[in-house]
Amino acid sequence: MLKLSAASSSPALQVFEFIILFQVLLYTIALGHGEWNVVTACSSLFSLWQNMAEAVLFDFVGNIVASLASQAIQEIGLASNVRKDVEKLKNKLSAIKVVLLEAEEQQANNDAVNDWLREF
């Protein structure tokens, strides 16, 4: 009797095993080698098919989870960058406010500052 490889084998190897077991089943039926061999071959085919389906589903779900995680990480990174940019803008606006307040105080005494404030 042919034995199945481990459930963790590659999908390509599982497909190859499925084809071989299917051929064995067809030969067994064609040659009329009793019910036990047919039942054993069918059972082996079903087990292999089930393992293949689980492997494909596991890979599919794994890819989706990896994709979603990657997108979430990108979104978190973007949100973090936005927060950093907002903080930088706040700091720059505070610095501009200080400069404008100083210029406003000096406006009465300095015509150049007065002209600069009007342009600004």
Radius of gyration of the chain (CA): 37
Structural domain contains residue 4: no
The structural domain count of the chain equals 1
Q: Say if 5 falls within a structural domain.
A: no
Q: Determine, yes or no, domain membership for 23.
A: yes
Cβ neighbours for 72, distance < 8 A, ≥ 6 positions apart: none
Residue 91 has pLDDT above 70, yes or no: yes
Domain range for 102 is: 11-119
Contact yes or no for 2/22 (Cβ under 8 A): no
Asked if residue 6 belongs to a domain, the reply is no
pLDDT band with cut points at 50, 70 and 90 for residue 39: low
Evaluate whether residue 2 is within a structural domain: no
- Is residue 84 assigned to a domain? yes
pLDDT tens digits, 78-88: 777 777 888 88
User: What band does 105 get if pLDDT is binned at 50, 70 and 90?
Assistant: confident
* Residue at token pair 């907002």: 86
Mean pLDDT taken over the chain: 73
pLDDT at 1: 45
